[in-house]
Structure 1
Amino acid sequence: MTSREWFQYAPWDDGPDPLAPPVDLRAALERLGRDIMDGSSPRSALDELLRRGTDATSGLDELTRRLWERRARIQRRNNLDGTLGEVKELLERALAAERKALFPDPDDDARFREAQLDALPPGTAAAVGDLAAYDWRSPDARADYQRIRDLLGQELMESRFQGMKQALSEVRPEDVARIRAMMTDLNDLLLAHLRGENTDERFAEFMRRHGEFFPENPRTVEELIDALAARAAAAQRMMNSMSESQRAELQGLMSGAFGDPRLAEQVSTLDANLRALRPGEDWTSSARFRGQDPLGLGEGAQAMADLAELDALAEQLAQSYPGARLEDIDLEALARQLGDDAVVDARALAALERELRSQGLLERAADGTLRLSPKALRRLGETALSDVVSGLRAKRGSRETRTAGPAGEPTGASRPWTFGDTEAWDVPRTVGNAVRRAGPGRVRIDVSDVEVVETEQRSRAAVALCVDTSWSMVQDNRWIPMKRTALALHHLVRTRFRGDDLQLITFGRHAAAVDIGELTAMEGVWEQGTNLHHALLLAGRHLRANPDARPVVLVVTDGEPTAHLEPDGEAVFAYPTRPRTLRKTLGEVDRLARLGASLSVFRLGDDERLARFVDIVARRGGGRVVTPDLDGLGPAVVSDYLRSRR
């Protein structure tokens, strides 16, 4: 009887896209590693990666640029005269139609009406107010005046309730009554909440009666207050952005909204309640609009809301506040302002940051700072070694540096076969892989099943890699090639020559033995001194601690020794180099020679004094001098290490 696998399909309801391609961490890690090796902290390197983005994804800087561009476009194209201009135009049209209707009439009533129109105050708001009781003769004039009242009502409602203007495109008396009832109930609800009463049942009843006015469908009274306060604060900021005369005119006009002054009073009460409930909203700022496109009151409030949303998104994209994460970005707001493509980029960046953490490539140190994990360092080392291997092949043909020694001593371990491997197959493990993959029955071996026997030389080596960390290495762009060389050698030893004992030694004013993580994250520091004496002293201690191993010392430097260590531990610096510094440095060279060490110096640059010094080292220590360019440093060091082992 065969077993059946059952699958259940359901609609996707947000969360990570199950069909999205996997995040490419290799390129991201390579960028992180380069920035960290250049002196950035892992946190700064990660922030820089997210700001710049990847080849396929816009970074935070590009998204922020688009936000500011949209913000500037809103202010540059628009002005806030829309409602005032439209009311003024309707008023002039109504007055012209009325005068046209009165002119042919010879009776005194017509002349009296003309006198009333001539006596109207110059301000638009005052004229509209004085005409509230006027009995229009012209049907067209009466219709235009009614449009003024409807327009003011629609704009007033739109400024506090998004979408209301469209819903009130045709205003009937019963619509005005419903709005007035909603406003009364809303203010009662907010006042009760402000007094600290339990308003859950009251809110439910309010939404049952007036839910049609709130398409966003708030689930609690707090959500309702948040939405209303944001909109009301945007309307207030729009009023703040107007000139004093514009603001006075508009406030005067609002009392005529729908021809019902009680509605403007209720809106004023609503604003006061919302200010008390949400004092943290921005009620006081303003913005400068300098364009030609007039915005109505509702459109102006929406523009101010858009500006506030753009500012909030810019802060989220800046990631400058404590505990910031890309998951904090409001994707719905981002889609509203920049479109769906921006959301795709934001999701991709968040996935990249999340995967870097979840894959264990970044970890928290004891002091809370981020650092590259051992897993990340292995991947960087693998990449660095791959580049070195490419350099070796380019110079010497297809030499496979992973083949561990001419003796071919099996280590007891195996590894997956990769293209170019010439080692013997590990048959039991290869067949076992095929059986586990295919299950019982007929077994077919696939390339992915193949494992090869891992070998190494019979002898082991004690290796000291001494790297110059003086300021000149940073200044002359030798810092990253030096670190990549150390990464490549470290990865080679740890993966192919596990019996070897590698010690990394840095030397500036002082020397120190460091692990690969410390060296990778080391920052360049302005410090005078190239203390090769101290570095060779530490190298000698490492060799003597491994008396059964072949001693190998590799030195990477771009300057002659300018410092030495005194017996009391003090580092003495002098330039030009003092004879005592040379004597103590060459004394350590002689001690290493007596240990039988293979000493190689990799000279960077064309300094003549350094060239003379390393020639002396080669003669005294029986070593060799290599003068690679920066691209050839890694291949030169790795090649010399392999030569020294043989």
Structure 2
Amino acid sequence: MTRRPDRHRARYGTYVDGPDPLAPPVDLAEALDAIGEDVMAGYSPERAMREFLRRGSQEREGLEDLARRVAEKRREILQRHNLDGTMQEVRELLDRAVLEERKQLARDVDLDDTDRAFAEMQLENLPSSTAAAVSELSSYDWKSRQAREDYEKIKDLLGREILDQRFQGMKQAMEGATEEDKARINEMLSDLNDLLEKRNRGEDTAQDFAEFMDKHGDFFPENPEDLDELLDTLAQRSAAAQRMLNSMTPEQRQELMELSAQAFGSPELAQQLDRLDGNLQSARPDLNWGGSEEFTGEEGMGLGDGTGALQDLAELDELSEQLQQSYAGARMDDVDLDKLSRQLGDQAAVDARKLAELEKALRESGYLKRGSDGQFRLSPKAMRQLGKALLRDVAEKISGRRGSRDVQRAGAGGEFSGATRQWAYGDTEPWDVTRSVLNAVVREAGAGPVVEPRSSVVEPRSSVVEPVETLRPRVRLTIDDVEVVETESRTQAAVALLVDTSFSMAMDGRWVPMKKTALALHQLIRTRFRGDHLQLISFGRYAEVMEIEELTALDAMWSKGTNLHHGLLLANRHFRKHPNAQPVLLIVTDGEPTAHLAPDGEVWFSYPPHPVTLASTVQELENSRRLGAHTSIFRLGDDPGLARFVDSLAKRVDGTVTAPELEDLGVEVVGSYLGARDAKRGASDGGSVPKQGRGQDRGFGGWFGNRGFWVDE
């Protein structure tokens, strides 16, 4: 029987290109919360997104942290190193060679006294300059073999260091180089210069590059694909070498230039390298050839290492600019992840890649929407997500309060809302059978196959019952599987949330909590009480009806005036539009009324508050009471005058006053709204209406509880 060939044979290997396909999707929740906070504080969405990318998240570094690490590494390189490494090494080899030669002269008894005296005089009168001493000893007749070897090491070291300046890794590769190796180096440099000069004249071809690489490709482990790639690599290194020379003192630079002629014992190498530098600068004049740095450390670097350090500094400067994102059109995709990984490690590159993915996801997810003016704004989708998160926080705080009752009823005698939740002790709502059975099936399926005895009857000859796996379906309901159907109260409410937008709200840090409160209430009504009618009214020098998107994006209002009278006029107009709904009036303020709307429509402002302003405000609040409004006032701050005023207002209309902390403002406002609905429902059902008061249960039993009221996910 012949075996058919496998046409679908697969080969497996390490995944090396692109993002990790198994990585979890980017979590936008934390980013959106932070961006929403900044937007409500007055930032544009674009700036808020930039601020989040700058700060980073709890799990990964942001651009600011990465930029700080880049700056620290740059400072560390400059403060740790100096550029005397090669000169120090040459000086050590020279001193060792001279010492060995003197030892040899002292113990060589066969040496003519005149020759010994002349040699000692030469050694004694060597110039103080290292370069001049090396040059003068080039014709010296060494008596010590060890001294001659040490001196030859100087020439070899200089040749390898100078090559390492232009070709990274050449210092190690050319260690112990033969004369043949040195001849190959000179030949490669000559051919490379010829090729670059053809490029500068516009006469080179792809064939020229291919022939060059076939002949000298072993000198270039980077394996460039074309001449441009080779040019970029060589020019960047050559420019760094020039910046290193610029960073030296004039004395250091002069000594190095003189020593270069001693490289490999031939001036030809230095001539070819000078020719190469000129060709590279002509091909890439845009690189930084004239810069310099100030190295102040004690650790000396050789010419190759120093050039590498200058390359690192150039990369760090590029990364610093990319991470600052301060130029027009900046994007996280601009950050060079390879350079970041090379300079700061793989984790830094991972963090930057995640930030880039986050930026891309925010732009493409629909959370940011570009307006007609070209500026980004939070989309309705983003507003819903923010409201959901804020409402969830409010729910958790409400459910954790002392004295709350563990009641989960969403509405007595109400209609099915279409939502379900897990059954809790005391629930009387009907079961959602489909959801309950589905929960049991999913749980049983995740538990694996059922293991049963093979037979329920024990054979008389054996007392052992062998288990056997069976796939026979079995569904057993547990109490954790049961879900009940939620109901909605039939009572409708017309809700007016009046928020103070006077300059003191922004000045005293109450601007963002006010907006968060409005957004949480808006989300609750939009998702849980769709039959209610919410109107958001801002009042500063004058009042204005606002959509939630307008209010959350509202900049701080610095004009003077707290026109509660105008806000109440708009609220009462809203109540009259919905005569069959229960009016609920919620007022958030931190100051006494200092403005009112005159009969001619003009704003009248006076501080201290004018009696006419106070009277107009009280009269309009009385009109709210006549319309049946349940009034709750939330006083921010500790102003005694404001406290007396709002207390007297609440007494006149049988309302409530709460002085919450800023972090509890949303809890108090949402709780008051729910209490007003619950109280109305209780009265309509024939029940007693609980008294409202600070520190009491407030009749929120249908919404409080240790499990909290639920929020749509």
Is TM (by shorter chain) over 0.5? Answer: yes
Which of residues 587, 600, 614 in structure 2 aligns to 1:582?
Answer: 614
Q: Report the secondary structure of 1:512's partner residue.
A: strand
Distance in 2 between residues matched to 1:44 and 1:418, nearest whole Å: 45
- 2:706 is aligned to none
State the TM-score, normalized to the length of structure 2. Answer: 0.82
| 8 Å contact kept, 1:389–1:401 | no
Alignment of 1:394-405 (within 5 A): 394-395=400-401, 397=403, 403-405=409-411
Flag the 1:375–1:83 CA change in 2: closer, same or farther, 3 A.
same
Alignment-mate amino acid for residue 196 of structure 1: G
- 1:56 is aligned to 59
Shift of 1:295: 0.8
Aligned pair 1:528/2:533, yes or no? no
Greater radius of gyration (CA): 2
Aligned pair 1:625/2:653, yes or no? no
Q: Report the secondary structure of 1:320's partner residue.
A: coil
- Higher alpha-carbon deviation: 517-526 or 207-216: 517-526
Shift of 1:116: 4.9
| 8 Å contact kept, 1:536–1:589 | yes
Flag the 1:296–1:431 CA change in 2: closer, same or farther, 3 A.
same
In structure 2, the gaps of 5 or more residues are 1-8, 446-471, 681-713
Q: Report the secondary structure of 2:497's partner residue.
A: strand
- 1:559 is aligned to 591
Distance in 2 between residues matched to 1:217 and 1:75, nearest whole Å: 32
- Higher alpha-carbon deviation: 130-139 or 305-314: 130-139
Shift of 1:125: 1.8
Distance in 1 between residues matched to 2:374 and 2:12, nearest whole Å: 42
Distance in 2 between residues matched to 1:7 and 1:462, nearest whole Å: 66
- Higher alpha-carbon deviation: 589-598 or 113-122: 113-122
| 8 Å contact kept, 2:101–2:143 | yes
Which of residues 434, 439, 461 in structure 1 aligns to 2:493?
Answer: 461
Shift of 1:109: 5.0
Q: Report the secondary structure of 2:137's partner residue.
A: helix
Shift of 1:473: 1.9
Shift of 1:85: 1.5
Alignment of 1:398-417 (within 5 A): 403-411=409-417, 413-415=418-420
| 8 Å contact kept, 1:160–1:231 | yes
Flag the 1:120–1:208 CA change in 2: closer, same or farther, 3 A.
same
Q: Report the secondary structure of 1:194's partner residue.
A: helix
Shift of 1:75: 1.4
State the TM-score, normalized to the length of structure 1. Answer: 0.90
Shift of 1:524: 2.6
- 2:213 is aligned to 207
- 1:3 is aligned to none
- 1:25 is aligned to 28
Aligned pair 1:44/2:58, yes or no? no
Distance in 2 between residues matched to 1:14 and 1:536, nearest whole Å: 62
- 1:362 is aligned to 368
Shift of 1:494: 0.6
Flag the 1:394–1:86 CA change in 2: closer, same or farther, 3 A.
closer
Q: Report the secondary structure of 1:287's partner residue.
A: coil
Aligned pair 1:282/2:284, yes or no? no
Flag the 1:129–1:463 CA change in 2: closer, same or farther, 3 A.
same
Shift of 1:83: 0.9
- Higher alpha-carbon deviation: 569-578 or 613-622: 613-622
- Higher alpha-carbon deviation: 148-157 or 137-146: 137-146
User: How big is each residue's C-alpha offset from its partner over 1:416-460, in whole Å with a ceiling of 9 and x where there is no partner?
Assistant: 65989955344456668999998xx95859999977544322232
Which of residues 83, 100, 107 in structure 1 aligns to 2:86?
Answer: 83
Shift of 1:567: 5.0
Flag the 1:351–1:526 CA change in 2: closer, same or farther, 3 A.
same
| 8 Å contact kept, 1:402–1:496 | no
Flag the 1:415–1:174 CA change in 2: closer, same or farther, 3 A.
farther
| 8 Å contact kept, 2:496–2:534 | yes
Distance in 2 between residues matched to 1:243 and 1:383, nearest whole Å: 62
Flag the 1:629–1:120 CA change in 2: closer, same or farther, 3 A.
closer
Q: Report the secondary structure of 1:405's partner residue.
A: coil
Q: Report the secondary structure of 1:467's partner residue.
A: strand
Alignment-mate amino acid for residue 562 of structure 1: T
Distance in 1 between residues matched to 2:11 and 2:585, nearest whole Å: 62
- 2:629 is aligned to 597
RMSD: 3.2
- 2:151 is aligned to 145
- 2:234 is aligned to 228
Alignment of 1:125-136 (within 5 A): 125-136=131-142
Aligned pair 1:159/2:162, yes or no? no
- 1:321 is aligned to 327
- 1:170 is aligned to 176
Flag the 1:403–1:191 CA change in 2: closer, same or farther, 3 A.
farther
Distance in 1 between residues matched to 2:395 and 2:604, nearest whole Å: 40
- Higher alpha-carbon deviation: 222-231 or 608-617: 608-617
User: How big is each residue's C-alpha offset from its partner over 1:536-579, in whole Å with a ceiling of 9 and x where there is no partner?
Assistant: 22222322333333222211111111122345554332210112
Distance in 2 between residues matched to 1:374 and 1:444, nearest whole Å: 42
Distance in 2 between residues matched to 1:8 and 1:52, nearest whole Å: 43
- 2:572 is aligned to 540
Distance in 2 between residues matched to 1:168 and 1:568, nearest whole Å: 94
- 1:267 is aligned to 273
Alignment-mate amino acid for residue 598 of structure 1: H
Distance in 1 between residues matched to 2:135 and 2:310, nearest whole Å: 28
Distance in 2 between residues matched to 1:503 and 1:250, nearest whole Å: 80
